[in-house]
Amino acid sequence: MTRINRSRRKRTLVHCFVSETGIASFPRKRESSTGVGTANSFKSVLGSRFRGNDIGKGPSAVTPLGGLGIAETMKSVWCPTFDNRIRTLLVVLILASLVATSAFAADKLPNVVVLATGGTIAGAAASDVQAAYTSGQVGVEQLLAAVPQAKKLAVMRGEQISNIGSQDMNDEVWLKLAHRINELTAMPDVDGIVITHGTDTIEESAYFLNLVVRSKKPVVLTAAMRPSTALSADGPLNFYNAVAVAANKDAAGRGVLVVANDWIHGAASLTKTSTTAVQTFLSPLSGLIGTVAYGEAEFYRGPVGRSTADSEFSLDGVAALPRVDIIMAHENMDGKLIEAAVAAGAKGIVIAGVGNGNMTQTALDSLAAQAKKGIVCVRSSRVATGRVGRNVEVNDDKLDLVASDALNPQKARVLLRLALLKHRSLADVQRLFREY
Ligand code: ASP
């Protein structure tokens, strides 16, 4: 090691590391005069090339400024023989490589496209503690700007698909959304999609997309129960977590996902269970796909049923979806609403039955009469959880009815609408309810 005097050291800008694997040089702040400070700056500058534990630790560590020791495997030496031009050149090269490295790191962030549709996550109220508010007031750029932390997770860009409360969700928005997701996910530079949506119908939209999106890339819906202006708004963290999941390679191939309140739900399994609570979504029958806490995701399993790239459904050439109505069963139910639905143009009917998809004998007679005429009739349940099985208390075989299996009425309606895009036997429709 070459000793140099203090005045020379002050002029010296370049500090060379000599290790067994080569030389790494970098500009060094003169003020760094302790081993600890040196180690920290090494860690931040060099990252994994040197292990932090090996730096600034005991006699075998790299020495702090002043060149007071020599590491066994890594020597810190001053290089007084370099002339100024070489030093300057080295500094320029090092700075250029650092800039290139950080640019490369930014390039390596996944690209996530945010498609905004409205909902309470984009809602606003007159004050931060009032229940009354209006959905769909905030645009996608404001949503992105409200969560700058997410920029560390992904390179994001936003598109406004609609700005509506999801109680107003409709086929036009669904078709636009699905077509746009299929376009975007086909692009090699798009790694994942986040969709901001209202909570009211998010389960239907997620399930629809689960059936018609062709890609295994992460497609993640998120929402909020409290408007963006509320005290303790839940939207920002839900959005942050959704971006983290969409940017996560491990999310791929798990079907369309819904991220809310730290939980990752599958599109087929989640349902809204509370009108007002932040913890509104549950996947009661089959459980969660995973969890996500401040962007750290854990995945437990794949999707329930066939989905996305494994789905047989396609929207190619589809301009409109057939009408399917849901009718809720209740005490003293008659068949009038069933008849009215068919008169209004329904090609399919879903009964939100009592218990295991049951209804009064009068309603059942009316339903069976429509089924004999070719209206596809599905028995689901108004009960929050559980399957509806074939031929349990109702003879589906004899009455030409379909049992919804694990799908609640609102998702049974989505599947039936897609099923009715082509002519199918009842056995084939029943197969769909088993497989999706
Ligand atoms: N009505 C709102 C919506 O679905 C509720 C929400 O987003 O939480 O758009």
Question: Any residues with CB less than 8 A from the CB of 51 and at least 6 apart, and which?
Answer: none
Helix ranges, 186-280 (H): 202-212, 235-246
User: pLDDT value at position 372?
Assistant: 98
227 CA from centroid of ligand 1 (Å): 9
User: pLDDT value at position 133?
Assistant: 93
Architecture of the domain made up of 109-310? 3-Layer(aba) Sandwich (3.40)
Tokens of 79: 């290089």
- Phi/psi at 299 (nearest 5 deg)? -110, 135
User: pLDDT value at position 77?
Assistant: 36
Q: Which residues of 354-393 are buried (b: 16+ CB within 10 A; e: fewer)?
A: bebbbbbeebbebbbbbbeeebbbbbbbbeeeeebebeee
pLDDT tens track for 181-218:
999 999 999 999 999 999 999 999 999 999 999 999 99
pLDDT tens track for 3-62:
433 433 333 333 333 333 333 333 333 323 333 333 333 233 223 322 223 323 333 333
Q: Which residues of 72-107 are buried (b: 16+ CB within 10 A; e: fewer)?
A: eebbbebbeebeeeebeebeeebeeeeeeeeeeeee
CATH topology of 109-310 equal to that of 324-435?
yes
Tokens of 358: 């049951």
DSSP summary character for residue 34: S
Residue from 369, 427, 359, 349 nearest 393 by CA: 359
Q: Is 81 a catalytic residue?
A: no
Question: Any residues with CB less than 8 A from the CB of 178 and at least 6 apart, and which?
Answer: 208, 209, 212, 213, 315
pLDDT tens track for 320-355:
999 999 999 999 999 999 999 999 999 999 999 999
Judged against a pLDDT cut of 60, whether residue 226 lies above it is answered with yes
User: pLDDT value at position 83?
Assistant: 62
Which carries the bigger pLDDT value, residue 238 or residue 50?
A: 238
Distance CA 134, CA 121 (A): 10
User: pLDDT value at position 190?
Assistant: 98
CA–CA distances in Å: residue 413 to residues 193, 205, 325: 25, 12, 7
- Predicted TM-score (pTM) of this structure: 0.77
Cβ proximity of 115 and 177 under 8 Å? yes
Question: Any residues with CB less than 8 A from the CB of 347 and at least 6 apart, and which?
Answer: 322, 323, 324, 375, 376, 420
In a mutational test of the pocket of ligand 1, which residue from 134, 167, 234, 258 has the highest number of ligand atoms less than 8 Å from its CB?
A: 167
Ligand 1 within 6 A of CB of 35? no
CB neighbours of residue 183 within 10 Å: 10
Distance CA 40, CA 229 (A): 40
Judged against a pLDDT cut of 80, whether residue 317 lies above it is answered with yes
State the closest ligand 1 atom to the C-alpha of 136, by its place in the atom list counted from 1.
9
Cβ proximity of 296 and 262 under 8 Å? no
User: pLDDT value at position 88?
Assistant: 63
User: pLDDT value at position 222?
Assistant: 98
User: pLDDT value at position 224?
Assistant: 98
Tokens of 216: 């295994």
Distance CA 237, CA 232 (A): 10
Ligand 1 within 6 A of CB of 274? no
Ligand 1 within 6 A of CB of 135? yes
DSSP summary character for residue 358: B
Tokens of 235: 């939207």
Distance CA 152, CA 268 (A): 30
In a mutational test of the pocket of ligand 1, which residue from 168, 195, 199, 238 has the highest number of ligand atoms less than 8 Å from its CB?
A: 199
For strands 348-353 and 324-328, give the pairing.
Answer: parallel
Judged against a pLDDT cut of 90, whether residue 107 lies above it is answered with no
User: pLDDT value at position 96?
Assistant: 59
State the closest ligand 1 atom to the C-alpha of 168, by its place in the atom list counted from 1.
9
pLDDT tens track for 126-181:
999 989 999 899 999 999 999 999 999 999 999 999 999 999 999 999 999 999 99
pLDDT tens track for 278-299:
999 999 999 999 999 999 999 9
268 CA from centroid of ligand 1 (Å): 19
Among residues 38, 63, 117, 120, the one annotated as catalytic is 120
Q: What is the mean pLDDT of the chain?
A: 83
User: pLDDT value at position 73?
Assistant: 35
Task: Report domain extents, the chain.
Answer: 6-106, 109-310, 324-435
pLDDT cut 70: percent of the chain above it: 75
Cβ proximity of 14 and 87 under 8 Å? yes
Which carries the bigger pLDDT value, residue 235 or residue 31?
A: 235
pLDDT cut 90: percent of the chain above it: 74
pLDDT tens track for 241-276:
999 999 999 999 999 999 999 999 999 999 999 999
CA–CA distances in Å: residue 205 to residues 49, 176, 198, 282, 309: 46, 12, 10, 16, 17
User: pLDDT value at position 212?
Assistant: 98
User: pLDDT value at position 111?
Assistant: 98
Cβ proximity of 430 and 402 under 8 Å? yes
- Residue 365 pLDDT level (bands cut at 50, 70, 90): very high
CATH topology of domain 324-435: Rossmann fold (3.40.50)
Distance CA 162, CA 197 (A): 10
